[in-house]
Amino acid sequence: MIPRYKGTREFMLYMKEPGFGSNQYVWIFDVFKYHELMQHLEEGWAIHNEDKRMAALQRTTA
């Protein structure tokens, strides 16, 4: 459990599993609170982009 997510509803999408919308893919360590997940998907954010994947990792582990 990541401490900052304690007491919140967590969403984890697994590696190579299609996300919501236009077949987005996310990585196994990307964990979002619901509103963060929705924001990313609304932005059309597909984490197979290496830079965005690294930014997501830094955000989720900070």
**What is the model's pLDDT at position 29?**
47
Full-model pTM: 0.23
Residue 51 lies in domain: 3-61
pLDDT in the model for residue 15:
44
Q: How distant, in Å, are the alpha carbons of 4, 12, 14, 25, 35 from that of 50?
A: 24, 18, 16, 12, 23
Name the domain count of the chain: 1
CA neighbor of 20 nearest in space, from 34, 9, 7: 34
Q: Which pLDDT belongs to residue 58?
A: 72
Q: Which pLDDT tens digit goes with each residue over 8-56?
A: 555 554 444 455 555 555 544 455 566 666 666 666 555 555 666 667 6
The answer to whether 30 and 9 have CB atoms below 8 angstroms apart is no
